[in-house]
Amino acid sequence: MLIDLFPGAPRRVELPASTTKEMIDGLDARWPGMRDRICDSRPAIRRHMNVFVDGERATLETRLAPGTEVFILTAISGG
């Protein structure tokens, strides 16, 4: 979903970051407006967005070790 909103953004990016917040800030520096799509004004990760670090749901404070894989997914609902 984010790829469609930010033309030219690759599906895989490597960024230096020690928390998910720093990672999202790094994404926003490269593609302005991306933070607003992932985070709300509290700030927190939006309810309809899922951020996973090593397979576990993350918050903005989740620590990232070097080489950690992070996945950002849009929640899908339906009936």
Q: pLDDT 10s per residue in the chain (79 long)? A: 788 888 889 989 999 999 999 999 999 999 999 999 999 999 999 999 999 999 999 999 999 999 999 999 988 766 5
* Structural tokens at position 72: 């950002």
Predicted pLDDT of residue 7: 86
Predicted pLDDT of residue 69: 95
DSSP the chain: -HHHHSTT--S------SBHHHHHHHHHHHSTTHHHHHB-SSSSB-TTEEEEETTEE--TT-B--TT--EEEEE-----
Predicted pLDDT of residue 21: 97
Predicted pLDDT of residue 79: 56
Confidence (pTM):
0.89
